[in-house]
Structure 1
Amino acid sequence: MLKVNAGSDTRFAAVSRILLPGLVFQSVIVGGGYGTGREIAEFFLGHGPVGGLLGMLVACLVWGLVLSVAFEFARITKSYNYRDFFQQLLGRFWSLFEVIYLLIALLVLAVLGAGAGEMASSALGVSNDVGALTLMLAVSALVYFGSKAIERVLAMWSVLLYLVYAFFLIWIVSAFGQDIGHQLGAGEVTGNWTLDGVRYAAYNLNALAAVLFVLPALKTRKQAIGSGFLAGVIGIVPGIFVFIAMLAQYPQITQMPVPVTSLLQSLNALWFMLIFQIVLFGTFIETGTGIIHSINERIASVLAEKQQAFNPNRRLLLAVCILLVAVFLAGKVGIINLIASGYGLLSYGFIVVVLLPLLTYGVWRIIRYRGDEAE
């Protein structure tokens, strides 16, 4: 009996290792990627109901391919923060990634601040600043407690989000299934949905930097590649849930600052709106925490080389400074303008600096690696 239990524990640990990076990846992208529905409206709904779904499948394939290569590249080079990872991938040009990453990190944090402000204003009737500042305090507190706490919170909240989003979709379909079916049945496909699928996937790969700290648990090539492809699927499924739900109010929903809020109001259920918005606010916290933690880990690696500690107080101070700038930016620009003007441009930078090097030089390094044979 003891042997069976031990075997079960071993299998559970192996499955957990493979799933954890995908859960963390999904946790980090949800707030800046599709938590509000605004990003889905910007990148996918403009291509029509069917065209948008095709674009999301393209994004899933890109994530699965790139993350599988990235996870294995991190494993063989033992690069578990973005400084080490991109020094291995880009050599002396690695700082190009850092510039783009810091820009998109600030942009995503600003979007989160704007989204949190919109949610607080519509749900509670308070100033937008209240929601943004609440987000800032929650992220700062979680960053203070470090990697283990972040890993546990991101994984658990990701599972909770799946459950709530699935229930949300079922309810929307039961209430507005005829409208959704009509939109899908029309078969509308417009524009270059393939390109927007790649662009959407590219800018969301900023989350790779936030996932690296959990990758030491992947011990073999099979685990790393399998975990990468699973991460692509885990990442896109809640987004597809939101996309299908948004078809209930298509096309007018494309102009809403926070489309998900409009859908919740249509259900006329205050209790579920409260639960959903709490979960959604939690995803904003997850995304903000993952981004700032990746920056902290990069700084910690430099200080470690100098035999200096990056203590929790320093981590907290950096988090507060970054979030203050992001909240200011959110208040000045607004969520629609932030997404429309910022995400698209920076996505091309990620294609050049992340996708192309990983799928060429990164694959070449992986093919040549013989370390597993020597162990």
Structure 2
Amino acid sequence: MSSTSSIPAGKPNLFKRVLLAGLVFQSVAIGGAYATGRETVEYAAKFGTLGWMSVLGTFALLAVFAYLVFELCRKFRVFEYRGLLRLLIGPFYWLYDFLYLLLGVTIIGVLISAAGSIMADTLGVPVWITSAGLVAIVAVVLFFGQSVVERFNSTGTILLTVGYVLFAVLVLAVKGDDLVANFRDSAPPLDPDSTAWSSISSGLIYGSLYLCIFPAAMPVMRFARARKDSFWSAVNLGWLIALPLFLTYFAVMAFYPDPAVLDAQIPWLNMLSGYGPWVVIVFGLLVGWTLLATAVGLVQGALNRVSVNLEDLGRKPLTRKGNGITAAITLVVAIVISQAGIVDLVAKGYTAGAWGMLIVFGIPLLTRGIWLIVKGTPAARAEEDAASPAAETGGEAEKTIEGTRS
């Protein structure tokens, strides 16, 4: 299988075996997933003091899916998503690419809308100038290649992660009493018909959205040596996503149910508005950088997927000119979509994308993926069986990667 890879020589350290996959995953997720705070309101905070169940639901679902993905990667030496999708859904693997492109354009639309709001609120820059500038910067970064993209992502992730902690500390240091009061009084959901299960299921749906990010972390699993490495990598990934969600959720709950925060396109901006203009400006710059980095990564991913699918059809991959045209079309479509606003895009677009990912990737992981982990023949053993004298003489039934026995 073209997607397989040999195990790296030597003994990888604990960082590579257990921590790196989660960090790579978070570096891609942090910009498009919860930089604005809108996602936290839509999928957790609107449930009042029941919202913590949503965050735990997201953590649990991601940890389970991460374990299944990572263990399949380790066991079958499949370190890229197309090889894994072929294992899970066979010839229908292209559906994942189709969903990724649709979801990617939606996320970029959210990023453009968020960047426009942030720059308008913090620096007074007109939205159309921000949109045009975002398109131009994405084009320049993509022109200079992957190394620039990686530096964009890593720098923005570190800065925003530190920023999240500082911003949450700022809010809770002043509004901590309001947070405690809300939990003491069991502040009800905005929708009186919501239940604990409503909150949990919302977290599960939100967690499914992250299925589009696993391809970024899969190559790192080449360092895994045992099932416990897959397990602890999955747990680490889960809390790396859940911790910023909890911080944002508690910060929002300190203002609950203030509509100025709950109905805002970018709740973080409103939560930080009383701490001096420098805090809002720093937040705007940090989030703006990260949103830009995420947009670059999504466009780059879309270009790669278009090229690979063209090759599958026997055609040539995109040229530099083709990349430019495709990137421009993607960004223009995203700008048009961004006119719907962050609130509707997150509530409707993200939810639809999450359900699509759950059907195409999540359910196969929970069914065929578990079967392959339990019954499938590991890649190393399959190779040994293929090279055995019995296999060469035809005296033994073929042992496939799915673990059939003679």
Contact 1:27 1:286 in 2 (8 A): no
Match in the other structure for 1:57: 56
Equivalent residues in 2 for 1:161-240, closer than 5 Å? 161-188=160-187, 190=189, 191=194, 192-212=198-218, 214-218=220-224, 220-240=226-246
Whole-angstrom CA distance in 2 between matches of 1:204 and 1:340: 15
Equivalent residues in 2 for 1:84-95, closer than 5 Å? 84-95=83-94
Is the radius of gyration larger for structure 1 or structure 2?
Answer: 2
Q: Which amino acid aligns with 1:254?
A: L
Q: Say how many residue pairs are matched.
A: 363
Contact 1:117 1:128 in 2 (8 A): yes
Offset of 1:140 from its aligned partner?
Answer: 3.4
Q: Which amino acid aligns with 1:335?
A: I
Q: Deviations over 1:178-220 (max 9, x none)?
A: 1111112222354211110100101232222344455545455
1:271 is the counterpart of 2:278:
yes
Match in the other structure for 1:6: none
Whole-angstrom CA distance in 2 between matches of 1:143 and 1:263: 34
Alignment RMSD:
2.8
Match in the other structure for 1:22: 22
Whole-angstrom CA distance in 2 between matches of 1:358 and 1:352: 10
Whole-angstrom CA distance in 1 between matches of 2:227 and 2:150: 22
1:319 is the counterpart of 2:327:
yes
Moved more, 131-140 or 192-201: 131-140
Whole-angstrom CA distance in 2 between matches of 1:71 and 1:319: 31
Match in the other structure for 2:5: none
Moved more, 83-92 or 151-160: 151-160
Offset of 1:34 from its aligned partner?
Answer: 1.4
Q: Deviations over 1:253-296 (max 9, x none)?
A: 211111111012121x2222222221111221232233233333
Contact 1:66 1:355 in 2 (8 A): yes
Structure-1-length-normalised TM-score = 0.86
Match in the other structure for 2:358: 351
Q: 1:146 to 1:128 in 2, by over 3 A?
A: same
Contact 1:28 1:288 in 2 (8 A): no
Match in the other structure for 2:47: 47
Contact 2:77 2:379 in 1 (8 A): no
Structure-2-length-normalised TM-score = 0.80
Match in the other structure for 1:245: 251
Q: Which amino acid aligns with 1:238?
A: P
Whole-angstrom CA distance in 2 between matches of 1:58 and 1:21: 21
Equivalent residues in 2 for 1:102-117, closer than 5 Å? 102-117=101-116
Percent identity, please.
Answer: 26
Q: Structure 2: state its 5+ residue gaps.
A: 1-9, 385-406
Whole-angstrom CA distance in 1 between matches of 2:18 and 2:335: 35
Q: Structure 1: state its 5+ residue gaps.
A: 1-9
Contact 2:21 2:233 in 1 (8 A): yes
Moved more, 212-221 or 24-33: 212-221
Residue 106 of structure 1 aligns to a residue whose secondary structure is: helix
Contact 1:23 1:155 in 2 (8 A): no
Q: Which amino acid aligns with 1:208?
A: F
**Which one of the candidate residues 262, 265, 271 is aligned to 2:270?**
262
Offset of 1:136 from its aligned partner?
Answer: 2.8
Whole-angstrom CA distance in 2 between matches of 1:218 and 1:134: 41
Report runs of 4+ in structure 1 exceeding 6 Å deviation: 303-307
Residue 56 of structure 1 aligns to a residue whose secondary structure is: helix
Q: Which amino acid aligns with 1:297?
A: N
Q: Which amino acid aligns with 2:200?
A: T
Structure scoring higher RCO (CA < 8 A, sep ≥ 6) equals 1
